[in-house]
C-alpha cells in the first residue's frame, strides 16, 4: 500500500467522532478511514487528564499500527488533555485536534454572548483557557457541560423527550442571558444539532467545527503529498466495547450513508 492510499486514523470516546469522519468523507471522498471509538471507557469528560492521555496514546499506537498516515483526535476532551502529548511522542506524524469554536463564535455573535456546549474536561483544560484569552476578550461565554448528553447520544436517543429536556435546560438560561450563538464543543453534539436548532430558534447561529477540521486535514495531506487520488477507499471501524443494541451501526449508517463493518472489543 502506498503512503497516499493509507487511511486517515480518527478516534473518539464513542460515536461522536463519526461527525468528524462524515465531514472528512464529504471533503475527501477518495480517502480511507480507520476509526476507533473507545466505547468501553466512555464518557471521557469527567476522567483525569492523565488517564485520558494514556488512553489517547494507546489508541494512537493502534491507529498507526493500522497504517494511518494522519491522526485526527476527533474528541474535544481528548484533544484538550492529550494533543500536545501525542505531538511530542510522534513529531513526524501530522496530528489534528478538536477545539471549541470560540473564535468563530465570537465573530458570529451580534449580542456579544456565546453559549458553549462542551464537556467538563474541556472546560477545565488549559487549551480552552487559552482560547478564551485569545478570542473571547470582548464577548461573554456562557458554558454548560450538558451532563448526561453524551450517554444519551451513545444510546441512540437522538430525538427522545429526555434528550430535548436536557438540551432545553442547558440552552434556555443561555438564551435568557442573551446568547444568540451556540458552539458545539463536543463531537457528539452535532448528532443532536437538529434539536438544538429547534430549541434555539431560527435566529440563532449554531457552529459545528467538524467541516473546518476536514479542511485542515486536506491542507496537511496536500502539503505532504499524501492525498489519495488513485485507489478505491476502504474503511475500517473499531470499538473497544460491544455494540449493544446495534446503536453504533445504526447511527453510523444514518450519518455516513452506509452501514460499516464493525470490529468489537478492540484493545479490550
Catalytic residue, candidates 15, 42, 63, 75: 75
Contacts (Cβ under 8 Å, ≥6 apart) of 18: 12, 35, 37, 251, 252, 255, 256
Catalytic residue, candidates 83, 142, 186, 214: 186
Q: Residues 215, 98: contact at Cβ < 8 Å?
A: no
Q: Where are the alpha helices (DSSP H) in the chain?
A: 18-27, 49-65, 76-89, 102-108, 120-123, 126-135, 149-154, 161-176, 193-200, 210-223, 247-256
Q: Is 75 a catalytic residue?
A: yes
Q: Residues 80, 53: contact at Cβ < 8 Å?
A: no
Taking alpha carbons only, the member of 96, 128, 132, 101 closest to residue 207 is 101
Q: Is 146 a catalytic residue?
A: no
- Report the distance separating Cα 81 and Cα 89, nearest Å: 14
- Report the distance separating Cα 41 and Cα 64, nearest Å: 21
The residues carrying an active-site annotation are 75, 186
Amino acid at each position: 500500500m502506498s503512503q497516499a492510499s493509507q487511511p486517515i486514523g480518527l478516534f473518539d470516546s464513542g460515536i461522536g467522532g463519526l461527525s468528524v469522519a462524515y465531514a472528512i468523507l464529504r471533503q475527501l471522498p477518495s480517502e480511507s478511514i480507520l476509526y476507533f471509538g473507545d466505547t468501553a471507557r466512555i464518557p471521557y469528560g469527567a476522567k483525569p487528564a492523565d488517564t485520558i492521555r494514556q488512553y489517547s496514546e494507546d489508541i494512537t499506537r493502534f491507529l498507526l499500527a493500522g497504517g494511518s498516515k494522519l491522526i485526527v483526535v476527533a474528541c474535544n476532551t481528548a484533544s484538550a488533555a492529550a494533543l500536545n502529548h501525542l505531538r511530542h511522542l510522534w513529531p513526524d506524524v501530522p496530528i489534528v485536534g478538536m477545539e471549541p469554536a470560540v473564535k468563530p463564535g465570537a465573530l458570529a455573535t451580534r449580542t456579544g454572548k456565546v453559549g458553549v456546549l462542551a464537556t467538563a474536561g474541556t472546560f477545565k483544560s488549559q487549551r480552552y483557557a487559552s482560547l478564551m484569552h485569545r478570542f473571547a476578550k470582548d464577548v461573554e461565554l456562557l458554558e454548560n457541560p450538558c451532563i448526561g448528553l453524551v450517554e444519551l447520544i451513545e444510546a441512540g436517543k437522538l430525538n427522545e423527550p429526555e434528550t430535548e429536556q436536557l438540551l432545553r435546560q442547558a440552552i434556555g438560561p443561555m438564551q435568557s442571558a442573551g446568547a444568540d450563538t451556540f458552539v458545539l464543543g463536543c463531537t457528539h453534539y452535532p448528532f443532536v444539532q437538529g434539536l438544538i436548532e429547534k430549541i434555539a430558534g431560527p435566529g440563532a447561529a449554531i457552529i459545528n467545527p467538524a467541516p473546518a477540521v476536514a479542511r485542515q486535514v486536506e491542507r496537511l495531506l496536500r502539503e505532504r503529498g499524501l492525498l489519495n487520488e488513485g485507489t478505491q477507499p476502504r474503511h475500517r471501524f473499531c470499538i473497544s466495547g460491544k455494540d449493544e443494541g446495534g446503536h453504533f451501526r445504526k447511527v453510523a449508517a444514518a450519518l455516513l450513508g452506509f452501514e460499516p463493518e464493525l470490529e468489537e472489543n478492540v484493545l479490550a
